[in-house]
Structure 1
Amino acid sequence: MAAALDVLPYRHVLTLPNEPGAVRLARETAQQALTEWGIGLHRTVVDAALLMLSELVTNSVRHAAEMSPQITVMYTASGSRLALAVHDRHPYQPPLPRADTVTGGGLGTVMELTRQHGGTAAVHGDADGKTIWINLPL
C-alpha cells in the first residue's frame, strides 16, 4: 500500500513525542497542510479524516507510549485522494473491526468512518512496529 501512495504529490511527515499533546498537534498540522495544498477543511470527508487521525493518535498515546516514545504521522494527498498514517513502535497489530462488528470508539469509529466515506484501512507491521493507514477519496 505504501508504494501506491508514493505517487501522491503532496506529503507531510511529522514525528511527535507520544504524549497526549500529540493529538492536538497532529490534527492542527494536518489542517495546516490540507489548507496549504488547497484542500478545503469544510468537506465532510476532511472532517471525518481529522477525527480518524485524532482517534489513531489517541490510541497510540494510550496503548503504545511505553514502548514507543515517539510516533510518526504522515499525510499525503492529491486532488482526488487523501491518505493518512500513524506509526508507533509497539509490535501489536490490532485487527481492524469488520463491517458487521459493532464497537465503540477508537478503531471502531475509524473503520465506520472509513467505510462511510468509501475509503480503505490497513495495518502494516514492520521491524520497527506498525503503521495504520487510512486512504480516502476526496
Structure 2
Amino acid sequence: MSTQLETLPYRHVLTLPTMPSAVRTARETAEQALAEWGVSPRHPTIGPALLILSELVTNSVRHAAVLSPQVTVIYAAGEECLAFAVHDRHPYQPLLHAPATAAGTGTGGLGTVMELTLGLGGTAVVRRDADGRGKSIWITLPL
C-alpha cells in the first residue's frame, strides 16, 4: 500500500491514561470519527479494524503502563485508506509476526493483529521514537 499517511485528509489524535478504560474509549472514538468522516460502519474493513485497534490499545495497557502513563491513538482516513497508530513510551519494540498458520499456531495478540491486517490487504509497521524510549504501531488498511 503506497498511500502517504501525511496526505490523508482526515485526522484525529486522542491521548488517554494507560488504563483498561482506554480500550473502550479508543474504540468509541474511532467509531465516532469514522462516522463524521462518512465511512459506513457496515464497510467490511471497519469491524476488523476496530478489533485490531482494541488489541493494540490492550497491549499498551497490559505491557507498557508501568513505563508509559499515557497511550496515544492517531486516527487517519481518506477515500481509499484507513490508518491508525497506537503509541506508548515503553521501549520494547515488538516483532510483528506473520499471521497464525492453518494449524492454529498463532501467538494471539499481535498474531491476530497481523492475520487480520494482512487478510484485509493492509500493512503494519513499528516505528521507534527518536529517543528510543517509545514506539508506535501503525496499521494501514484499504477502504
Q: TM-score, normalised by structure 2?
A: 0.91
RMSD between superposed Cα atoms in Å: 1.4
In the alignment, what sits opposite 2:55? 55
User: Which residue matches 1:113?
Assistant: 116
Alignment match of 1:134 (pick from 122, 136, 139): 139
Moved over 6 A (4+): none
Instruction: Tell me, yes or no, if structure 1 residue 40 matches structure 2 residue 40.
Output: yes
SS in 2 for 1:82: strand
| Structure with more of its chain in helix, by fraction | 1
Unmatched segments (≥5 aa) in structure 2 = none
The aligned length equals 136
Cα distance per residue 1:84-117 (max 9 Å; x no partner): 1000000000000124764242111100000110
Q: Indicate the larger mover: 40-49 or 7-16.
A: 40-49
Question: Normalised by the size of structure 1, how large is the TM-score?
Answer: 0.94
Give me the whole-angstrom Cα distance separating, in 2, the residues matched to 1:44 and 1:106.
21
- Aligned residue type for 2:110: L
Give unmatched runs, 5+ long, in structure 1.
none
**Aligned match for 1:123, one of 102, 112, 126:** 126
Alignment of 1:71 with 2:74, yes or no, is no
Identity of aligned residues (%): 64
